[in-house]
Amino acid sequence: MSAEHIADSLHADIIAGRFKPGAELKQGEIAKRFKVSRIPIRDALQLLAARGLIDLVPNRRARVISLTRDEIREIYDIRILLECNCLAEAIDQIRDTDLERISAAFRHSSIDAETANWSDGDWAFHKALYLPSGKARQIGMIDQLRQTCRIHISGYGILPDQTAQWLKDHQGIVDACHMRDRDKATRVLKLHIEAAGRTLLGAIP
């Protein structure tokens, strides 16, 4: 079994919350689980560290990333800057085909909102919003920041408890996109991200 395959499996486990933030990934246990030597495990952990999912600490230990409350606040502040900028630029470039894709993503994310796939659906919707901006690198940065948030949301067993409001926000953003109203769209998005940050911070011990 390749290191990449092992890393992908562990990646999915971390995102799903099977390892809490700060939890140690023990090489011996992982090697036993995948029935391999520790060499591909070490390589897999290096891959996870490169993806920003774990921290490698002295004595060859690996721990799932665990952020302080201030660090989480900072991430949400950065997300607001990057995501609102992306959305504003996207609306300036938006075409009818983009609006169709955004509306379809909204419909799918609304269905996923009450399921375990809520996060995937949510990102698919937001990514559809940002794609018309053409800022691929910025969208990649947003994806990584959202992934960091998701690790903590899943790790602390947090599920969206304001689904109705969040879907209302999504509808407001979609409507603003159809009107090409960048000010309204970015205003709703900013409030939307701020609310998500408060929900996560409110659930952390």
How crowded is the C-beta side of 70, counted as CA atoms within 13 Å? 0
CA pair distance 5, 11, nearest whole angstrom: 10
Q: Please give the CATH architecture assigned to the domain spanning 69-203.
A: Up-down Bundle (1.20)
Of 57-66, 89-98, 110-119, 151-160, the one with minimum mean pLDDT is 151-160
Domain ranges of the chain: 3-64, 69-203
Torsion of CA 138, 189, 125, 181, to 10 degrees: -90
CATH code for the structural domain at 3-64: 1.10.10.10
Q: State pLDDT tens for residues 156-198.
A: 766 655 678 889 999 999 999 999 999 999 999 999 999 999 9
Residue 156 and residue 19 in contact, taking contact as beta carbons nearer than 8 Å: no
**Given this model, what pLDDT does residue 55 score?**
93
pTM of the predicted structure, to 2 decimals: 0.87
